[in-house]
Structure 1
Amino acid sequence: VRDVSYRPPGTQINLLNEVNICLPEKSFGLIFGRSGSGKTTLLQLIAGLTKPTSGSIYIQRYDNDGKPNQSPEQLTPERVGIVFQFPERYFITDNVLDEVTFGWPRQRGDLQLKELLASRLQRAIISVGLHGIPLDKDPHSLSGGYKRRLALATQLVQIPNLLILDEPLAGLDWKARADVVKFLKHLKKELTLLVVSHDLK
């Protein structure tokens, strides 16, 4: 994120001014601030849901000696996974399997693609600890902690370059919070994580 500013259309005041963030690959980043400080706006900009008024957001890859090995690549929505606060509000199917695979190709044929998707599904389900949950179970009947896991799985199957989590512990009891934190520590070994929160506890 380089020199990013954002001014809502029709207004004269910037919500964000020349923000700069550098997040190394397979690292854990935290955006912390009070409610109304612009955290969610920045999240939406990084995820590509909103365009910045000025500045740029991109991926720069480096060699082992620290030199850029290619031109900067734009960070597009397809390369970013995002889990919103209270993700259960965004569930749109009536079973776990359809929720995780929503948007996948449904046409017959292409065995190689089906095998790839099945592998991604299995990996995502196992990595977030959903392998003991029936795939025909209604997502809305899951506990708060398992709803977060399901939301994580739906993003992990896409294999994003960056996974953003907006207030991932909001509304959870202490046990569910501990479970989510445990999974996040595991996930940061595999991909880049960016957490947005107003609560460091």
Structure 2
Amino acid sequence: MTALVQACDLRRVFDVSKPWLNRVIERTPREYLTAVDRVSFEIKRGETFALVGESGSGKSTVARMVVGLLPPSAGDVSIDGVSMSDPRQAAARKALRRRIQMIFQDPYASLNPRLRVDDIIAEPIRAFDLITGAREIRSRVGELLRLVGLHPDDGVKFPHQFSGGQRQRIAIARALASEADFIVCDEPTSALDVSVQAQILNLMRDLQDRLGLTYLFISHNLAVVRHMADRIGVMYLGRIVELADGRELFSHPRMPYTRMLLGAVPDLAMSGRARIAVSGEIPNPIDPPRGCTFHPRCPDVFDLCRREVPLLIDGVACHAVNRPAP
């Protein structure tokens, strides 16, 4: 299976300095926040790759760089062989845009409240000039509404007339309207009730099977990721610290941070697996700890962790895991 998406050494730095006059008066230097640091991964056609981690770990920043909403400070993303930042591939990138869509976290904010649903879903069709003729467009919108479990007559309503789950179905229909094959899902169910979350996730999996979609799935909820992902990248303070097959990661987590995250998931099967209690908080990203940024919270920390940043070796960035046996 070939890779549709390839991210190579992505880095994103934000200037969070105070205004110039404040810096002069207070004699303070510029401050920079490294939101994403040397992140690399690939997504094969038809699979779901998930990025998980606590809030502030850089997941959404990666998602925005992948779709081209945010330029990387370093590194590159290529989708189907087309770079998302190389100015020499601007024409190819424009042709690729139709195939990339995004589903956002908040279905209340991602839909224009002044437009009727049929106009919201028809917008990508008109923007990419996929279908001409009002009747043909209306027919296609009706098909898309049926595809996501709504009725074509719902097209005449406004977003405020729907529940949160129904609005997210509309957002999914809008993403499919451009005939996209790669969809970035930025916590698409976190704003929904648990029962509704399951319905939306099942819908997304059904659509993936029917249409051959490829997903980049962003979430902090490991229970959701377990249901959706083929492969998982665990992020901590801007870096991927573990990269593994979904089943392997849940059955044999190797990185202490991953084990800590899994320890917070309810063990409904009462398997009696060992747990690491969640402790501490993510450090200040403007002034991160030296060495491994997880070491202030890690139960397996030793001297090397405080001095050197661990490399991602065999899917794990951890000195305790990768150190040679004595």
Smaller-chain TM-score bracket: 0.7 to 0.9
Change (3 A) 1:104 1:185: closer
Q: Secondary structure at the match of 2:154?
A: coil
Looking at structure 2, the residues matched to 6 and 42 of structure 1 have their Cα atoms a distance apart, in angstroms, of: 8
Correspondences of 1:1-201 after superposition (within 5 Å): 1-9=7-15, 11-60=31-80, 72-75=81-84, 76=93, 77-92=97-112, 93-102=114-123, 104-105=125-126, 113-114=132-133, 117=137, 120-131=140-151, 134-189=154-209, 190=211, 191-201=213-223
Change (3 A) 1:48 1:78: farther
Looking at structure 2, the residues matched to 12 and 86 of structure 1 have their Cα atoms a distance apart, in angstroms, of: 28
In 2, are the aligned partners of 1:28 and 1:188 still within 8 Å (CA)?
no
RMSD of aligned Cα (Å): 2.5
Q: With structure 1 as the length reference, what TM-score do the two structures score?
A: 0.82
Identify the residue that residue 285 of structure 2 maps to in structure 1: none
Report the more deviating stretch, 75-84 or 25-34: 75-84
Letter of the aligned partner of 2:34 in structure 1? N
Q: Which has the higher helix share?
A: 2
Q: With structure 2 as the length reference, what TM-score do the two structures score?
A: 0.52
Q: Could you say which structure has the larger radius of gyration?
A: 2
Report the more deviating stretch, 185-194 or 7-16: 7-16
Gap regions ≥5 residues in structure 2 = 1-6, 17-30, 85-92, 224-326
Q: Secondary structure at the match of 1:88?
A: coil
Identical positions, percent: 27
Gap regions ≥5 residues in structure 1 = 61-71
Looking at structure 2, the residues matched to 94 and 165 of structure 1 have their Cα atoms a distance apart, in angstroms, of: 23
